[in-house]
Structure 1
Amino acid sequence: MAKLLRARAIYDFNSENPGEVSVRENEIVTLHSEKDIEGWLEGTNSKGERGLVPASYVEILREDDNNAYPESRYANVPSTGRADNAFPPPAQQQVNQQTSDDDWDDDWDDSSTVADEPGTPRDFEGNGPSGYRVSTSSAARGQHPKSSATVGRNLNRFSTFVKSGGEAFVLGEAEGFVKDGDKICVVMGQHGPEWQENPYPFTCAIHDPTKQTKFKGMKSYMSYRLTPTHTEQQVHRRYKHFDWLYARLVEKFPVISVPHIPEKQATGRFEEDFISKRRKGLIWWMNHMTSHPVLARCDVFQHFLTCSSTDEKNWKMGKRKAERDELVGANFFLTISTPPAPLDFQEVESKIDSFKSFAKRMDDGALQLNATAGEFARKQMSGFRKEYHKMGVAFKVLSQAFEMDQQVYSAGLNRAISLTGEAYESIGDYFAEQPAKDLEPIMDLLALYQGHLDNYPDIIHVQKGALTKVKESQRHVEEGKMEAAQAADGVSERCNIISCATLAEIQHFHRIRVRDFRAQMQHFLTQQMAFFGKITVTLEEALRKYDDA
C-alpha cells in the first residue's frame, strides 16, 4: 500500500485566489503529488479542502520507521518573524522558488548555460578592457559563484556575514580578475560616502504587456515591451527574465539593496487587474534600478535591457557570462575604490545604529499607513459609494412623491430634486474610483520601500560582521595571538571598504526616499484637490437647477 505523502505548514497562508487553499502553521497537509506546479503544491488541508499551497510554505514529511522528518528542499526556508497573509517577503519568496509563474522553460534555462564544465578556465574576454587579478591574500582561495539560476541572499541573521562573502573578504580570502570597467567608486560627499554618480543617466519605459503563446498555443505568457532611453531600442521580456535578473543581482551585490520584483502568482495570471498591478510594480522596480549608480551600470542589467529579443544566441551568451561572473559575494568588494582617508569606525558604527533605528521606525510607519490607506480605500469603494447612492435614491423617491401633485409650477422643483439624487449617485461613483488615483499609488510605493527595508538587516549584518573582525584582530595583536600588526591593518582596510559601500548605499536610500515620497505626496494632494473639486462642480451644477425651479 502506497504511503501517504504529507507536509507540515511552516507559515500561515490565506488563499486569495480560486484554486488555492488556506493552511495554518503546523497544520498537516496531505499532498496529491510531490511535484510542484511552478512553485506550488496541490494538497488537502485538515478541513478536507483541496487546492494549491506555496511550496516554500511547507516542509514535506518523510516516514522513517516511526519518525517523520522534513524533506530538505523545503526545510531551509527561514522565518522572517512576520505573519504575512500572502507570500514570504519577496527576497525570500522569489529566490527560493526555482520556477516562475511565467512557465520557466528548459530551453531558456538549460543546464549548459548555468555552470562551468570541470576544468574549464574562466573567460575574461581577451579583447575587452585591460584588467588585473586582485587578491586579498597571497594564498587566497577564489570563490566561485553559485551555479543555480535562481539564488539569493541568505536570510539567516547568524550566517549572513559568512554567506555573503563578507567574512572571506575581511579575512583576506578573496581574489578575482578585475577589469577597468568593473571598478566601482565610492566618493566622499557632503554627507559622507556616496556612490559615484552615473555619468550617463537613463530611464526605461515598460509598456502594456501582450499575451503570447508558443508550442502551438499549448503555453501562454505575458511579454513586456521595454524601451531604455539610452538606446531607444525596444526589447521584449517576460516575468521569468525579470526573476532571473533579480536573482543575479542579489547574488552579486551583498551590500546593495536590490528592489524586489512583484510577487509570483500561480492563478489568475492573465486577469486584467493582475496584469495591470504587476506592470505598475515593474515600473517602480525599473525606476529604482535605473536611478541606482551601481545597478544601472552593471553588465547583467545592461544585457537585460539591450540584448535583442530575437537574438537567442547572444542572450544565452550574456546569460552564461552573468552566471559565471566571479566578482560576486566576497569578490564584489575587490571592485570597490574608496576615498583616500579611512573612516572612523566608531563614527561608522554610530551611523549604522542610527540608520537601524530609523529603518525600524520607517517600517512601523509604513505598515501603519499602508493598513490605514487600505482600510480607507475599502470604505471609499464600498461604504462611501453605498451611502451616497442611498442618499441619491432617497432624493429621487422624494421627487417621485412630489410628481404626484401634478401641478405645473412644481415640475421644475421635481426635476431639480431628481438631478440632486443623480449628483449624489455620481459622487458615490467618484469615491469608488478615487483610490486608484491617489491611495493605491501610495500603497504601491510603501510596498516597494518595505522590500528595501527587508533587505537592510542583511546588509547591516555584513558591515557589523566586518567591524567585529576588526575588533577581534586588534585584540589578538594586543594579546600576542596575531604575529604581525600588518595583518590587523589589512583587516581594517578591508572593513573600511565594506563600511564605505554600506554607508554609500544608505545615503542612496535616503536620496531616493526623499525624491519618491516628495513626488508621491505631491501627486496625492493634487489628486485629492481634483477629487473634491469635481465634487464641488457636480454639486454646483445641481444647485443651479433650482434657480429655474
Structure 2
Amino acid sequence: MAQKALVLYDFTAEPGNNELTVREGETITVTNQSVGGGWIEAQNSRGQTGLVPEDYLQLNSAGAASSYPDAFSTAAASNTHSQIANGVDPWSVGGAYKTDKAGGWDTQGYTQTQQVGGGEDDDDDDGEWDEEWDDQSSVGGYAADPPGEEEGGATGRNTHAPSMKISLNKFPFSKTPNPEVFLLAKLPPRGKDRLPVYPGEVGPVWLYPQNPLDCAVADPKKGSKMYGLKSYIEYQVIPTTTSRPVNHRYKHFDWLYERLLEKFGSAIPIPCLPDKQVTGRFEEEFIRMRMERLQAWMSRMCRHPVVSNSDVFQLFLTYRDEKEWKAGKRTAEKDETVGPMIFSVIDPEGPDLDPAEVEHKCEQYSKFTRSMDDGVKDLLNVGHTHWKRCTGPLPKEYQRIGKAFLNLSAVFNTSGYQGETTLTDALTAAGKIYEEIAQIVAEQPKKDLHHLLETNNEYKGILGCFPDTIAVHKAAIEKVKEGDKLVTAGKISSQEKTTMTKRISTMSYSLQAEMNHFHSNRIYDYNRVMQLYLEEQIKFYELIAEKLRQALGQFTTL
C-alpha cells in the first residue's frame, strides 16, 4: 500500500524546479521518499507529481497523526512535560535552570540551546554535521533547502529547520533569558574572549579596532543542486582585511544571524536579516534588493567592535576551505558563553555601579528606544505614502497638464491663422516638457527616498530588538532588588548578594557601552542619509526648474 502524507502547510511550487504545489489539509501519495536533502517526491489527487519539502508533510502510513506535527517529536514532548513536572522551565537556558517553590535558584547547570527533536544543526552519529546542512558540492554550501528559506517554503513561518530549535535569545512565548544564570553562577576563567569596556568621553564604550572592518556583498550567481532540480543564489562576500572572496548563500547568512543572536542577543541587539521570499526569488530586481540589504546588514555587523571581532563572524568572512568552515560551525554551536553568560566575558574598567543608577540608566534607554521606534515608524509611514503619491497620482497630474497643453496646441493649429505658429509650437513643447516632468517625478523616489526608507527600515529592525535586550537587564535588576529578602530568608548568602550587585554593574556597563555605540552610529547614519536625501531633492527641483525654463523660453515676449 502506497504511503500517504498529510500536508501541514501550504507550499507553492517555483516554476522550473520540479516542485509540486500543495495546500494545508490535503492528502498526497508519497512516490519517492529517498530523494534526499529534505525533499520528498509525491503525487496529488489530480495525478500531478513533484517535490515537496519533507517538513511540510506528516507521513502517515497507519493513519495516525502526530500530536506535535509542527515542532516536537513525541519523545521530545514527553521529555518537555517531564521537565515541567520536575520544576524545570524548558524554555529557559536549555532547561538547565530550575526554580524551586520557595523562590530559590539552582545555578549549577547551564547549556546554550534547547534542541527539541533534532534539527539541521544537530551532529549526526559520526560527529559530523547533518549532510543537509553541509553540502559536499561547494565550500560553505548546504545540500537542500528546508522550508522557510529562500529556496522554498512558506512565507511568514519560522520553519527553516527540519524541526523547531528553541534558541536562547529568541525569547519564545515572551520568555526572557534568565539573568540569574549569570548573577549567581560560578563563572569560568576569563580567556581570550575578554570584552573590555573603557571609560570614554560620552561614558562607557567598547574597545574599537584601529582598522575598522568592512566587507562587500557582490556578484550574485545562480547555482543548482540535486542534479539541477533545485536552484539557489550565491553571493561573494569580500572582507577588507583579506580582500579574498568567500561564497555564501542566503541560508549561510541566516546561520550566522542565528549564531550572533544566540551569543550576543542578551547584550547586543542583533537586527534580523532581510525577509525570506518564496516566489520571484530569481528575479533580477529581487536579487538586487536582497543583495543591497545583505550588504547593509553585513556592514552594520562589521561596524560593531564586539560582533565583528567574534570568532563566528570572522569564520564567516575568512574561512579558507570546507574543512575549516565545518569545524568552525561545530565550534560555534558548542560555544558556552551565550545568552546571559555573555556578560561573564565583559570586563569593565570602572567602579561598581549603584543598583539605583543601573535601574535609572535602564529606564532611560528603554524610554528613548521606544520613542525613537515610534518616530522611525512614523517616518516610514509618511515616506511610503509619499512614494506612492510620487509614483502614482502626482506624475499623472503632470501628464494631464501636458496633454491639455498638447490638445490646446492642436486646436490652435486648426484656426488657419498664419501668425500663431510660434505659439502653437511653444504650447506643444510645454506639453512635452510636462510629460518629461511626470517621468522625472516618478523616478525620483528611487534616488532619494529609497535610501532614507532603507536606513529607517534598518533602525526599525534594531529598535525592535532593544525591548528583549533591555528586558534581560530589567529582570536582573528585579532579582538584585530581592537580594535582601533572600538573604534574610536564608536563600542566598551575603557574599552571593554582593556578587549579584557587582555583576549587575557589569551588565549595566555593557548596556551603556552598547547604547553609546548605538547613538554614535545613529548620529552618523542620519547625518549621512539626510545629506544624501536633501542633495538629491535639490537636484530634483533644480532639474524641474530647468525644464520649466526650457518651456518658458519657447514663448515670445509681446
Same fold by TM-score greater than 0.5: yes
Aligned to 2:401: 391
Aligned to 1:134: none
Alignment of 1:440-519 (within 5 A): 440-477=450-487, 479=488, 481-482=490-491, 484-519=493-528
- 1:195/1:294 contact within 8 Å kept: yes
The 1:98–1:429 alpha-carbon spacing in structure 2 relative to 1, beyond 3 Å, is farther
Within the candidate set 275, 284, 290, 2:296 is matched to: 284
Matched, 1:30 2:30: no
Aligned to 1:153: 169
Aligned to 1:73: 71
| TM-score between both structures, scaled by the size of structure 1 | 0.74
Q: Distance in 2 between matches of 1:68 and 1:233?
A: 48
Name the amino acid aligned to 2:209: N
- 1:157/1:458 contact within 8 Å kept: no
| 1:157 Cα deviation from its structure 2 partner | 7.0
- 1:172/1:491 contact within 8 Å kept: no
SS in structure 2 of the partner of residue 463 of structure 1: helix
- 2:199/2:350 contact within 8 Å kept: no
Aligned to 1:234: 245
- 2:215/2:299 contact within 8 Å kept: yes
Aligned to 1:351: 361
Alignment of 1:88-487 (within 5 A): 106=132, 108=134, 151=167, 153-156=169-172, 159-162=175-178, 166-175=179-188, 178-180=190-192, 182-253=193-264, 254-308=266-320, 311-477=321-487, 479=488, 481-482=490-491, 484-487=493-496
- 1:151/1:248 contact within 8 Å kept: no
Larger relative contact order (C-alpha < 8 A, sep ≥ 6)? 1
Q: Distance in 2 between matches of 1:39 and 1:407?
A: 79
Name the amino acid aligned to 2:501: S
Name the amino acid aligned to 1:30: G
Q: Distance in 2 between matches of 1:496 and 1:168?
A: 15
- 1:168/1:174 contact within 8 Å kept: no
SS in structure 2 of the partner of residue 161 of structure 1: coil
Q: Distance in 1 between matches of 2:262 and 2:279?
A: 28
| 1:170 Cα deviation from its structure 2 partner | 0.8
SS in structure 1 of the partner of residue 223 of structure 2: strand
Q: Distance in 2 between matches of 1:99 and 1:279?
A: 25
The 1:98–1:174 alpha-carbon spacing in structure 2 relative to 1, beyond 3 Å, is same
Q: Distance in 1 between matches of 2:8 and 2:324?
A: 42
- Alignment deviations for residues 384-418 of structure 1 (CA, whole Å, 9 cap, x no partner): 11111111111111111122234443222212111
Q: Distance in 1 between matches of 2:480 and 2:329?
A: 37
- 1:150/1:247 contact within 8 Å kept: no
The 1:483–1:459 alpha-carbon spacing in structure 2 relative to 1, beyond 3 Å, is closer
Aligned to 2:154: none
Q: Distance in 2 between matches of 1:471 and 1:191?
A: 28
Q: Distance in 1 between matches of 2:533 and 2:548?
A: 23
- Alignment deviations for residues 482-503 of structure 1 (CA, whole Å, 9 cap, x no partner): 5632121112122222221122
- The number of aligned residues is 465
Q: Distance in 2 between matches of 1:204 and 1:297?
A: 13
Name the amino acid aligned to 2:391: M
Query: RMSD of the alignment, in Å?
Result: 4.3
- 2:302/2:308 contact within 8 Å kept: yes
| 1:210 Cα deviation from its structure 2 partner | 2.4
Name the amino acid aligned to 2:431: G
The 1:107–1:449 alpha-carbon spacing in structure 2 relative to 1, beyond 3 Å, is closer
SS in structure 2 of the partner of residue 153 of structure 1: helix
| TM-score between both structures, scaled by the size of structure 2 | 0.73
Name the amino acid aligned to 2:171: L
SS in structure 2 of the partner of residue 222 of structure 1: strand
- 1:149/1:323 contact within 8 Å kept: no
Structure 2 residues without counterparts, runs of 5 or longer? 16-22, 41-52, 78-90, 92-117, 122-129, 137-162
- Alignment deviations for residues 108-141 of structure 1 (CA, whole Å, 9 cap, x no partner): 269xxxxxxxxxxxxxxxxxxxxxxxxxxxxxxx
Q: Distance in 1 between matches of 2:301 and 2:247?
A: 17
The 1:465–1:40 alpha-carbon spacing in structure 2 relative to 1, beyond 3 Å, is farther
Aligned to 1:116: none
- 2:392/2:442 contact within 8 Å kept: yes
| 1:325 Cα deviation from its structure 2 partner | 2.1
The 1:38–1:362 alpha-carbon spacing in structure 2 relative to 1, beyond 3 Å, is farther
| 1:32 Cα deviation from its structure 2 partner | 5.1
The 1:534–1:329 alpha-carbon spacing in structure 2 relative to 1, beyond 3 Å, is same
| 1:214 Cα deviation from its structure 2 partner | 3.8
Q: Distance in 1 between matches of 2:184 and 2:505?
A: 13
Segment drifting more, 317-326 vs 258-267: 317-326
The 1:32–1:289 alpha-carbon spacing in structure 2 relative to 1, beyond 3 Å, is farther
Q: Distance in 2 between matches of 1:240 and 1:341?
A: 43
Segment drifting more, 409-418 vs 430-439: 409-418
Structure 1 residues without counterparts, runs of 5 or longer? 10-14, 19-27, 42-53, 79-96, 111-146
Q: Distance in 2 between matches of 1:476 and 1:152?
A: 27
SS in structure 1 of the partner of residue 169 of structure 2: coil
The 1:99–1:538 alpha-carbon spacing in structure 2 relative to 1, beyond 3 Å, is farther
SS in structure 1 of the partner of residue 237 of structure 2: strand
Q: Distance in 2 between matches of 1:218 and 1:413?
A: 65
| 1:107 Cα deviation from its structure 2 partner | 5.5
- 1:188/1:194 contact within 8 Å kept: yes
SS in structure 2 of the partner of residue 30 of structure 1: coil
Matched, 1:546 2:558: no
| 1:204 Cα deviation from its structure 2 partner | 1.3
